[in-house]
Amino acid sequence: MFSSYEEGWMTQAREPRRFSSTEHLASEAIAAFADGELRMNAYLRAARHIAECPECAAEVDAQQQARSALKDSGEMSMPNSLLGLLSQIPMCEPPEVKAEVERRRRVIVTSVVNLRRRRR
């Protein structure tokens, strides 16, 4: 016969492990796992967890399905009107914005210098 410790251990071995919410994989880890972007040690830990946790396994499956759907959806396009509007966005700051930033920088530097002089 088995001791109560051995019986308890055997019972635990047969029951699937239940995870607390803090033990589940983060959404970033699930995406990285599905995309094959994890380093080997992290991949092995995640794979072990996924093998034991139906919730995380379902999330990985959903991530892989979404990835596949995006991959199979074909090339994305945008309306020419949107492309035209986007091309009108300035590539750099207008001169008046640069002048205002420079003016504020000078005011701050002058204030700091004056404070240091007063402390002497």
The two structure tokens encoding residue 34: 């599905």
Q: Where are the domains of the chain?
A: 4-73
CATH number of 4-73: 1.10.10
Q: Residue 13 pLDDT > 90, yes or no?
A: no
| Whether the predicted pLDDT of 7 surpasses 60 | no
Average pLDDT (3-29) is: 61
For the chain, the maximum distance between any two Cα atoms, rounded to a whole number of angstroms, is 88
From 46-50, 68-72, 94-98, the region with the lowest mean pLDDT: 94-98
Q: Is the pLDDT of residue 39 over 80?
A: yes
Report CA 82 to chain centroid distance, whole Å: 29
Using only C-alpha atoms, the chain has a radius of gyration, in whole angstroms, of 29
pTM over 0.85? The answer is: no
What is the DSSP code string of 60-91?
Answer: HHHHHHHHHHHHHT------HHHHHHHHTS-S
